[in-house]
Structure 1
Amino acid sequence: MSAPQHSAPRSPGSGFGFSTADFYLLLTVFIWGNTFPVAKYILGFLPPMAYATTRYLLAALVLLGLMALRGGLQPPRRRDIPALALLGFIGVTMMQLLWTNALTFTAASKGAILVAVSPIFAMLMTTMRNLVKRESTPGALAWSGVLLSFAGVFLVINNSLTGITLDGGDLVGDLMFLGVAFCWATYSVMGPRYIASLGALRVTAWSMLFGSLLLIPLSILDIARADWGATTLTIWAGFLFTSVGAGALGYLWWYEGVAKLGVARAATYSYLIPVFAMISAALVLGESISLAQLIGAAVVLAGLMMTRLGTQRTPGNGG
């Protein structure tokens, strides 16, 4: 997962020290980075859609439980249900349909790099919105960052410094991961309007529940053919890690961190996700990382930082 590209209030006096919010953001990106290789390992035993659906149903139930503990289970207002269902469809249903299946085609480390470009898609969406509203748009530095990031994406997918190798293979998985980045960007651009009025926990919990329920019709066959009885303790531990850790607590900690520190400061933590993913994939799955992919990852991250700096310097920009 990559950082949402929208404005969020800073808490007074947050400064540049390492706060509790910083700790939770760092813990979140560590969890999200490690989710890629852990999920790929689990998918060696469970069908993709069975895993995605049960994982997010559990995550939604955990968030609803937290809501009950924090002040009562507040059902969404009827007028908010369509928006929450749409957020769930984009941020859970479509994203998990692509993400889980993409992991069966593409290396976990590679997928994490490709998903990291979601802030670029978010910036493009915000720019289109600003053009319609005749508001300020990003300058040359931000657009240079966009081009640089996509050059890095090409290097990662091509996986070669000497020639063009886009001849199929895991290209389908790579394109799916770019679809994941687009879905997360869309969810991130749409979410703030509802989080401002309903709160991060309510929006995340209900949208996640709606999104996971929409996954059920797509996963009935996978759930039926899954050999649940042969699932080992290691697989269940990984399932809980990716469900409760990444799916429930990760979402909650991320948005609470953004609310306290602001998206610009939080965004710097998201750049660590592919780094953690590459290290973990090498240690857990024995994945090898080519020189082209390392250079591509560095180029993607450099482009993201340029884009962030460029949007920060643009007066009135929503990104």
Structure 2
Amino acid sequence: MKRVKEMMNKPWVIYVMLALATSSWGSAFIAGNYATRDFEPITVAFLRFFFAAVILLPLMWTMEKNRPRPHGKEWLLFAALGFTGIALYNICFFIATKEAPIVKSSLFIASNPVLIILVSALFLKEKITGRNVIGLALALAGAAVIITEGNFLSLVRAGFEPIDLVLLTAVVCWALYSVLGKVAMQKFSPLVCTTYAVVFGTIMLMPLALMEMTWDQAANATLLTWGSILHMSIIVSVVSFIMYYQGIRAIGAGKASLFINLMPVSAVILAVILLGEPLLPVHIAGALLVFAGVTIGTRAKKQKRKASVPMAAAK
């Protein structure tokens, strides 16, 4: 156990975890598209986190026996996490996977780091460095290149539509979720924060899902649909959320958010593998920009990096 904790204090381990976590989110676009063919968006969101809660609760009770108990306003903080990052964000996300063009929805989600860095600087007083700004610009440009395939005019032609408000709400919710999570982890572990957020979010989604879902839908849903929901529950929700929160705890919400730009890269790769979509040179160019941006944005000067290790160890 001690060796595991020592490993978790190493920057490269944190970066690998964040890369894996955010890359897995790219698969949620494909899985969400499959799942919303048989269920409505709110139902998919509820089922995703219901199964996640079933896994997380016994995991927390087993691994966090000496966890501090929330009191008073701390319960409200977890409820806010459940509302922003679990309930409302995922309702918007699954509506987008069903109704919005992938080009537009992916670009909106890829813009998350911009808002997270701004909100983190405003409320958490996290410092915005020149490297952060350059890395963010490169990574966001790479994500835009991948999503639009270099045809930025396609976004202009699409114009403003009502679905854009849904996507904008999703972006704001995720930024708030990331920043509130940093606050919660001043006292609680990533596993505890994720579990309580998922439980609160599931409870909020339940009455809406029960009004929306019918038994015929559940009985007639395909194995592909159920497999997609379980994938989002176990890999995208449980494993990735814990790794993402661990990353925020170690390096801050602003810097961790740079890794979100890996999401469209993984989405394109999975689309090539699973859906047979072509891999174009522009996709490779965009991916290189993303990787360059993440590398520059998370790389600290040697003296600062040495100073940050003891701070991570103390948390």
One fold, TM greater than 0.5?
Answer: yes
Is it true that 1:77 corresponds to 2:71 in the alignment? yes
Question: How much has 1:15 moved relative to structure 2?
Answer: 8.3
Is it true that 1:87 corresponds to 2:77 in the alignment? no
Question: How much has 1:204 moved relative to structure 2?
Answer: 1.2
Correspondence 1:1-319 to 2 at 5 A = 24-72=17-65, 76-108=70-102, 111-129=105-123, 138=128, 142-143=132-133, 161=151, 163=153, 166-168=156-158, 172-173=162-163, 176-224=166-214, 227-256=217-246, 259=249, 262=251, 270-286=260-276, 308=298
Please, which runs of 5 or more residues in structure 1 have no aligned partner?
A: 1-10, 315-319
* Whole-angstrom distance in 1 between the partners of 2:303 and 2:109: 25
Are the structure 2 counterparts of residues 29 and 141 from structure 1 closer, same or farther at C-alpha, using a change threshold of 3 Å? Answer: closer
193-202 or 262-271, which deviates more = 262-271
* Whole-angstrom distance in 1 between the partners of 2:292 and 2:82: 31
Question: How much has 1:59 moved relative to structure 2?
Answer: 1.0
Question: What amino acid does structure 2 have at the position aligned with 1:274?
Answer: P
Q: Is the 8 A contact 1:149 1:299 kept in 2?
A: yes
Question: What amino acid does structure 2 have at the position aligned with 1:116?
Answer: A
Please, which runs of 5 or more residues in structure 2 have no aligned partner?
A: 305-315
Are the structure 2 counterparts of residues 262 and 16 from structure 1 closer, same or farther at C-alpha, using a change threshold of 3 Å? Answer: same
Q: Is the 8 A contact 1:35 1:246 kept in 2?
A: yes
Question: What amino acid does structure 1 have at the position aligned with 2:36?
Answer: L
Equivalent residue, structure 2, for 1:5? none
Q: Is the 8 A contact 2:255 2:297 kept in 1?
A: no
What whole-Å deviation, never above 9, does each CA across 1:25-79 have from its counterpart, x for those lacking one? 5543443222221121111121111111121122122111101222449764344
Identical amino acids, percent of aligned pairs: 24
Question: How much has 1:164 moved relative to structure 2?
Answer: 6.1
Q: Is the 8 A contact 1:139 1:310 kept in 2?
A: no
Question: What amino acid does structure 2 have at the position aligned with 1:58?
Answer: F
Are the structure 2 counterparts of residues 299 and 30 from structure 1 closer, same or farther at C-alpha, using a change threshold of 3 Å? Answer: closer
* Whole-angstrom distance in 2 between the partners of 1:279 and 1:170: 28
Q: Name the structure where helix makes up a greater proportion of residues.
A: 2
Equivalent residue, structure 2, for 1:8? none
Are the structure 2 counterparts of residues 218 and 162 from structure 1 closer, same or farther at C-alpha, using a change threshold of 3 Å? Answer: closer
* Whole-angstrom distance in 1 between the partners of 2:157 and 2:163: 13
Paired positions, count: 302
140-149 or 46-55, which deviates more = 140-149
TM-score, normalization by structure 2: 0.74
* Whole-angstrom distance in 1 between the partners of 2:301 and 2:190: 24
* Whole-angstrom distance in 1 between the partners of 2:44 and 2:122: 36
What whole-Å deviation, never above 9, does each CA across 1:200-254 have from its counterpart, x for those lacking one? 1111111111112112233333213761111222222221111122111221233
Q: Is the 8 A contact 2:261 2:290 kept in 1?
A: no
Q: Is the 8 A contact 2:36 2:98 kept in 1?
A: yes
Q: Is the 8 A contact 1:67 1:73 kept in 2?
A: no
RMSD: 4.3
* Whole-angstrom distance in 2 between the partners of 1:307 and 1:49: 35
Q: Is the 8 A contact 1:90 1:187 kept in 2?
A: yes
Q: Is the 8 A contact 1:59 1:247 kept in 2?
A: yes
Q: Does the residue aligned with 1:95 lie in a helix, a strand or coil?
A: helix
Q: Is the 8 A contact 1:151 1:299 kept in 2?
A: yes
